Every structure is written in structure tokens, then in C-alpha cells.
């Protein structure tokens, strides 16, 4: 009651964003992942925060709005395997020098193979523990336009409502790609230009 939702974007990662290619998904009610449609393929993880705001419209000084916002807590970059495969599949520019690595990277971002096309969170229940912080695991499936799928484990500290969210230093968001084991899958042998993902739960008999 009386809650005011304010979506707070991250200035470091939503610059040069393209809303046509922006993708977002909820990992949990307190965790949101967003790709702002940039060619570098970064995904930003946000954690919900609440704070008391100003007096609401009723004029009662003892009743204040509850402001809900989102703070960036981590990022996910494309893996080296995906980035290197994107570079190898590019058509070389006749105007670029061979040793101009910066120009190659810029061309990679502009051509779009790293662009995120879908984000699919998968939550798995772990029946082997009674610790509620460890009873659920989250994996984020990321599909990229160039024909790549990455499976990224999300630490419970980031997405679980029972865990205290991290408070990274300003302008130094941790990159989960270098902190967790990411599984990269290429679909280039079958098709490219992945446009969407879906996940199905199946039972595996012992």
C-alpha cells in the first residue's frame, strides 16, 4: 500500500542502449537481469532495494511512500570462446590493418553476433540440504544472435531473497563470467541467428 516503484538504470551500462534489442527477465522477485541491446553483449544483474520516500498524497506526515528501485550488483560478459568465435566468423574488412585489434573489436560489436536475443532463468530445487539459502540454485541461459548459448550459474547471494545482496564498489561491478564456470554452446553447425529460448522441465529416473 502506498508503494512507489522507481526503476533505476545503471549509467555505466545502459548508455548507447537500443530499446529494440533490449531483453529482460526476472530471476526472482528481488533479482532482475537486463541486456540493454548493446553490441558488446553485456548482461546487467539488478537487485531490488526499498527505502522510505516522501510523504504520500494523503498529506499524513506519518505515512510515507515506500520507494522501490533496482541497484546494479554484477555483470555477465560474453565468454572468450564466444567472442573469439564471433571474431573468426566475421568477414575481414579490406580497409582495416591486420594489427588493429581495437578496430576488430568495434566491428564485432557493430555486426551484432554477441547481441543478446533472449534471457531464460532456470531455478532448480536442491533436496539434499535443509539450508534455505542453498535449497535453490539458479542458472541463466543467454542466447546470442550469432548462434551461441551460454549457461551462467547465478550465486545465491545475488538472487535469493534470503541472502544479503552484495554491495560492490562504484564503477567496479563484478563480472560473473570470470567468477563462475560458464558453459558455452555453439549452434553454428545447425543454424545461426538464435532469436528465442525456452526451457522445459523433465524427470530423470534413477
Inform me whether the pLDDT recorded for 2 exceeds 70: no
- Report pLDDT for 131: 62
The pLDDT of residue 128 = 63
Nearest to 159 by CA among 176, 171, 142: 176
pLDDT at 27 (0 to 100): 93
532448480: which residue's cell?
Answer: 124
Give CA angle at 139 (137, 142), nearest 5°. 170
Specify the residue for cell string 554484477.
74
pLDDT in tens, 21-73: 899 999 998 899 999 988 889 999 998 887 766 555 555 556 667 777 888 88
Q: How far is CA 194 from CA 56, 119, 138, in A?
A: 46, 12, 22
Largest CA distance in the chain: 69
Beta carbons of 65 and 2 less than 8 angstroms apart: yes
The pLDDT tens digits of the residues spanning 155-172 come to 988 898 777 766 766 567
- Can you tell me the distance from the alpha carbon of 115 to that of 190, in angstroms, rounded to the nearest whole number? 19
Amino acid at each position: 500500500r502506498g508503494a512507489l516503484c522507481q526503476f533505476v538504470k545503471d549509467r555505466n551500462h545502459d548508455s548507447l542502449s537500443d530499446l529494440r534489442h533490449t531483453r529482460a527477465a526476472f530471476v526472482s522477485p528481488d533479482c532482475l537481469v537486463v541486456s540493454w541491446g548493446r553490441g558488446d553483449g553485456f548482461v546487467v544483474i539488478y537487485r531490488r532495494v526499498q527505502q522510505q520516500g516522501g510523504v504520500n498524497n494523503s498529506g499524513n506526515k506519518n505515512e510515507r511512500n515506500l520507494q522501490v528501485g533496482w541497484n546494479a550488483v554484477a555483470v555477465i560478459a560474453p565468454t572468450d570462446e564466444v567472442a573469439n568465435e564471433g571474431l573468426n566468423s566475421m568477414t575481414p574488412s579490406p580497409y582495416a590493418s591486420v594489427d588493429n585489434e581495437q578496430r576488430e573489436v568495434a566491428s564485432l560489436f557493430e555486426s551484432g553476433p554477441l547481441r543478446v536475443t533472449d534471457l531464460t532463468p532456470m531455478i532448480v530445487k536442491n533436496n539434499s540440504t535443509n539450508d534455505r539459502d542453498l535449497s535453490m540454485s539458479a542458472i541463466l541461459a543467454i542466447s546470442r544472435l550469432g548462434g551461441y548459448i551460454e549457461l551462467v550459474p547465478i550465486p545465491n547471494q545475488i538472487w535469493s531473497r534470503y541472502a544479503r545482496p552484495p554491495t560492490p564498489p562504484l564503477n567496479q561491478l563484478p563480472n560473473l563470467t570470470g567468477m563462475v564456470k560458464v558453459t558455452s554452446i555453439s549452434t553454428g553447425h545447425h543454424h545461426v541467428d538464435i532469436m528465442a529460448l525456452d526451457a522445459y522441465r523433465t524427470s530423470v529416473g534413477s
